Structures are given as structure tokens and as C-alpha cells.
Amino acid sequence: MNNPLSGSESHPNEKEIRANHNAGAEVERPSLNFLEEIIEDDLRQQKNDSRIHTRFPPEPNGYLHIGHAKSICLNFGLAKKYNGKTNLRFDDTNPTKEDVEYVDSIKEDVNWLGFSWDGEYYASDYFGQLYEWAEKLILDDKAYIDDQSAEEISKGRGTVTTTGINSPFRNRAIEENLDLFRGMRDGKFPEGSRVLRAKIDMSHKNMFMRDPILYRILFSHHHRTGDSWCIYPMYDWAHGQSDYLEGITHSVCTLEFDVHRVLYDWFLEQLVEGDYRPHQYEFARLNLSYTLMSKRKLLELVKDGIVNGWDDPRMPTICGLRRSGYTPESIRSFAERIGVAKRDNVIDYSLLEFSLREDLNKKTNRVLAVLNPVKLVITNYPDKESEFLDAVNNPEDPSAGIRQLYFSKELYIEREDFMIDPPKKYFRLFPGGEVRLKYGYIIKCEDYVTNPDTGELLEIHCTYDPLSKTGGPNANRKIKGTIHWVSAQHAIPVEVRLYDRLFLNSDPEDVPEGKDFRYNLNPDSLKIITALVEPSLQNLKPLDQFQFERIGYFNVDSDSTPERPVFNRTTGLRDSWAKSGN
């Protein structure tokens, strides 16, 4: 893989990560994160009858990404740990951008990550109740219809340093407000002509309390409520009340919502009685280096054809990660490993890859594949003969067993494993040198053939030591290098898609003025080659995973057919992007 970095950034390398990880493992009882502390405190006080109920509230306006995965693992994880429940709630209050396609993909992704929800809910289920509550606010003189334009409203709101000014419509009579609100609901007014606002305090130091908008007019078809409504609630008006209606106890969201919390509490205070209230808590959203994380920008990548769809293996979407070979376990362990922060930070992408390798190392069978083949002939091996060599499927998992590998006179090896004029300490193959073939014999390079015009290497000629096979008398002869190979006659050609990171800069949006993230695209994020793999790779199913020995982890793509198998590179065996000067 190319390494375009000059080495100016610091990446935790795997050794460091592993050291930190192991240090953590020695602690007998891992310390609680701040949300667990809050929950344990609430449980001690028997708040909410000791119920714990969380929710994951996606807006169905795009596919879920790795940031959402963090939120999913957190919400479902907390409920699981404390014997609680988790709802899946679609925050579907903005019909112009939402679609059932997204609802379906979100459910599939949450399930695939290994979680099942206690209830499937939609904010749109509460449109009726929310409407009634809005009328109640109007009757209590706590909401009014504002006829100002969007610009006037925004201007009147003031700034963080200046107070807002009251709308000229703020003192409308209750009856008139009610009448106009019903008119809005009944479709009597055009879009943009009026909104319903809460009457709170235009000089409040928190801008969100300066008479926030509750409803706007939208003549839009909704994917669930159809054309029943032409007014739609704003996020703040819908969210806390939905939490309340579902009996949520801990409403966990990302830091940018901390300024909304006062409003969240204010609404419920006006509307409901009794002791029970949901509470909002904020944690730092996940930011990953080399990754764009907003649905809007991911949509641009898809629409502009920079990637091949939402599930392109270079996308940070859950479906993209799945297609590229990420496992639910690796994503969950990543989410666990990064913890729950209260301050914004950027997590290095290599930590995600580390979690992946750790999981795949345990699970995948090893196979031999040659990505850049050059022919190697064993001159003293009998013509037209072949034999089987025993190969261990997975040294990490004895139950994976062994398989038999075809061996014959003509092989392919990796072009990079041979040098005509090697530097010192080159332990692979070179004229006069010896190397071990993985699971097989020791061979010695006697000769090679090049194209006289171009100098291109055409063929390598070797002899083998027939007594050097595992178990043979010369098996323990000391040889420094071991290389992989496939039998020319038996190998299967396959398409391999070599994916790499989509962006060259750890911050994709760090660009010169006038440019956008496209400036940082990695021109080599996908290379397609034909490779040769051992013949055991048959009857492949999409998502089947392997370690191509000495190369990396690969999985079967959904485009694969029996006639034309297709593999994706999931990740290399080690971090090729780490600061290493290579």
C-alpha cells in the first residue's frame, strides 16, 4: 500500500494500542464511564422504579455510519448492562428528506451489529399527541402564531451577545392563535407563511429559549402518515415528548445538544404532571481520522459517483464496513475500546483497523494467494506429477483443522519475493539463495529468464530439496525466509479489489481556501487486479473471509459469481499508514 504521509502525524501503533489494552485488562473491575455512574446513582436512589430505558433515535434520512454504531453500542450496551430496555425510534419529523429505504437499512444495520430493540417507534406516531399538546400551550398562553418571515424571525432572535426582540405577533389573543393554528393544520395557509412558536423569553441567555419554533407548514408527503399532515413538528418539540411517551429514562445524545437540554426540560414541565421525567445526557460524538462522518457529505460522495453507492467498501457506513469485511464483533469492541468521552476528540482510524485484525486473526482461515504472480519452475521435480501438502487452516483455532494443498513442478510466487540483485539481509528469493515454500520444501534459485528487450522477469528456475518437507530429515534446515506460492496448474484466477483509505489527509476537510474534501481524495483508493488463489477457494459465499497469508484479510464481495470470484481487501496484516518512514 502506498504511504503518502510524510510522517508528520502521530498514530498510535499496534504495539502501543496492545500495551494500553493489556494494561487495561489487568485492572480487575474496569472503572465506570460517566453515564454508568449516573445510572448506578439513579438505581441506588430507585429513580423511575429502578427502570432503565434508553433509545436509539436515528432520522431516516440516510444510511447509518460508524458514529451511529458508537451510539447504538452505547444505548443498547447500557440497557443490557443494567437489565433495561432500548427502543429504536425513528425521528421522522422532516418528510422532505426521509424515506422507507433508510428505515429498512437502519433496522438491518442495528440487527447486524447484534442488537434487538424492545419497541420500534416513530416520532410520527405521536403527531396527534404533539398537536394536542401544542393546543394546550396556546390555551395556556405559552405559544403563538408568528407571521414573520424566516429571516425576520432569525433576525429578531438576536445573537449570543445581544438580546432578541419580541415578535410583533407575540401578543396575539389566545382565541386568534388557536384559530390560526387550526387553520395551519387544515392547510389554509401556504408554506412559509406562518409558524407556531413557544412564548418563553426573547432575552434568555440560551438562544434556544428565545421563542423556539414548534411547527412549520410543509405540504410534503410523509413516508408513514401520507398526506394527513401539512404541519410538522420541529426536532426539539418532538424529541423530549417522544422520550416521555415511551418511558425513556436516560436520553443519551451527542454534545451539540447540551444547549437544547433546558428547552427539553421546559416543554415537559409545561405539559405533564407527576414525578417521572426522561433526562437528557450528552457525550462526545465519535470523530474518526481520514473519515467524513456527516450523512449529508456521505450522500454527496454517493451522488457524485466518487464511490459506488452507500455500501462501497470505502464508505464509513455500517453497510460499507460490512461489505468490506468488518465484523459486528470488531465494531463492538472498537466502540468499547474508545469509551465514552465528554469532550470532543478524534480517534485514529488505525484503532478501528486494529479491532478488526484482532477479531479476524482469531476467526479466519489462512489461504495462499498470489497477487502479482511470476512463474517459478522446479527443474528437478518430476514432470506431470503433483502431490498434496498438509496446511494448517488457522493456527489460532485448532478446530479449524487442516487442508491439503496441491503442489507441482510449476508454481507462481509473488514478484516482490524475488530480486536479481538483492540488498543485504534480503531473506526472500535471489539467484543462488534458498527459501522455504510455505507448508512445503526448501528451494534454491539456480537461474532466471528475462525478456531481452524489456528486462522483464519471465521465469525463475529452482531446484528443491526433496527431504526438506515437514517431517522429512532436512525439514529443520535453517532457512531465513518463507514465501507463499500457488500451483500453476491448480490455481484459480480471481478478481481482487484492493481498497485503501478514501482520503489522504487525516482531516479530509483540511483544504486550501476554495477547495472542498474532494481535494484530499486518495486517487489510489481502489485498484482492481487479477490474482491467483489456491483451489480450495470454491463454493464461496458473499462475506466469506480469509487471511491471504503474508498479505492481509480479504472477503468475498457480493458481486462474486462462481465463474468470476471477486474478493475485497479488508485490511492489511499491519498498519501500513502508521508513521514508519517507509
**Where along the sequence are the contacts to ligand ATP (CB under 6 A)?**
57-59, 67-68, 70-71, 253-254, 285-286, 293-295
- The secondary structure of residue 418, as a DSSP letter, is B
Residue 67 or 95 with smaller CB distance to ligand ATP: 67
Residue 68 or 436 with smaller CB distance to ligand ATP: 68
Q: Which does 58 bind (CB under 5 to 8 A by kind): ligand ATP, Mg ion, none?
A: ligand ATP
**SS3 assignment for 439-470:** CCCEEEEEEEEECCCCCCEEEEEEEEECCCCC
Residue 554 CB neighbour total at 10 angstroms: 29
CB of 535 to ligand ATP, least distance (A): 44
Query: Under 8 Å CB-to-CB from 254, ≥6 apart: which residues?
Result: 71, 282, 283, 284, 285
Residue 110 or 230 with smaller CB distance to ligand ATP: 110
Residue 285 among the catalytic residues: yes
Going residue by residue from 18 to 57, which x/- string records binding to Mg ion, judged by CB under 5 A?
A: ----------------------------------------
DSSP 230-270: SEEE-HHHHHHHHHHHTT-SEEEEEGGGGGGHHHHHHHHHH
CB of 242 to Mg ion, least distance (A): 14
Task: Catalytic residue, from 285, 357, 366, 428: name it.
Answer: 285
Cell of residue 371, nine digits: 497477487
Residue 28 among the catalytic residues: no
By beta carbon distance, the residue nearest ligand ATP is 67
Residue 581 Rama label (left phi>0; alpha psi -120 to 50; beta): left
Cα Dmax for the chain:
102
Going residue by residue from 58 to 77, which x/- string records binding to Mg ion, judged by CB under 5 A?
A: -x------------------
What's the rounded Cα separation, in Å, for the pair 91 and 378?
66
> CA nearest 74: which of 295, 357, 317, 281?
281
DSSP 183-223: HHHTT-S-TTS-EEEE-S-TT-SSGGGSS-EEEEE----BT
Q: Which does 51 bind (CB under 5 to 8 A by kind): Mg ion, ligand ATP, none?
A: none
What's the rounded Cα separation, in Å, for the pair 257 and 278?
15
3-state secondary structure of 11: coil
Q: Which does 68 bind (CB under 5 to 8 A by kind): ligand ATP, Mg ion, none?
A: ligand ATP
CB of 59 to Mg ion, least distance (A): 5
- The secondary structure of residue 303, as a DSSP letter, is H
Residue 182 or 296 with smaller CB distance to ligand ATP: 296
Asked if 428 and 419 count as a contact pair (C-beta separation under 8 A), the reply is: yes
Query: Under 8 Å CB-to-CB from 287, ≥6 apart: which residues?
Result: 67, 293, 344, 345, 346, 347
CB of 146 to Mg ion, least distance (A): 24
What's the rounded Cα separation, in Å, for the pair 489 and 419?
24
Residue 235 or 427 with smaller CB distance to Mg ion: 235
Which residues 542-571 are close enough to bind Mg ion by CB under 5 A?
Answer: none
CB of 58 to ligand ATP, least distance (A): 4
CB of 150 to Mg ion, least distance (A): 20
CB of 66 to Mg ion, least distance (A): 16
Task: Catalytic residue, from 172, 295, 357, 428: name it.
Answer: 295
Cell of residue 481, nine digits: 525466509
Q: Which does 57 bind (CB under 5 to 8 A by kind): ligand ATP, Mg ion, none?
A: ligand ATP
Q: Which does 508 bind (CB under 5 to 8 A by kind): Mg ion, ligand ATP, none?
A: none
In the sheet where 457-465 sits, what is the strand order? 482-483, 434-437, 442-450, 457-465, 373-378, 410-414, 485-487
Asked if 426 and 435 count as a contact pair (C-beta separation under 8 A), the reply is: no
Asked if 450 and 458 count as a contact pair (C-beta separation under 8 A), the reply is: yes
By beta carbon distance, the residue nearest Mg ion is 59
CB of 285 to ligand ATP, least distance (A): 4
Residues in a beta bridge with 373: 414
Residue 536: phi and psi, rounded to 5, are -70, -15
CB of 263 to Mg ion, least distance (A): 16
What's the rounded Cα separation, in Å, for the pair 472 and 54?
62
Residue 197 corresponds to which amino acid? R
Residue 180 or 307 with smaller CB distance to ligand ATP: 307
Residue 253 or 483 with smaller CB distance to Mg ion: 253
Residue 68 or 428 with smaller CB distance to ligand ATP: 68
CB of 294 to ligand ATP, least distance (A): 4
Cell of residue 174, nine digits: 389566545
Task: Catalytic residue, from 9, 36, 47, 59: name it.
Answer: 59
What's the rounded Cα separation, in Å, for the pair 386 and 407?
6
> CA nearest 164: which of 176, 155, 174?
155
Residue 199 or 332 with smaller CB distance to ligand ATP: 332
**Which residues lie near Mg ion (CB under 5 A)?**
59
Q: Kindly list the catalytic residues.
A: 59, 285, 295
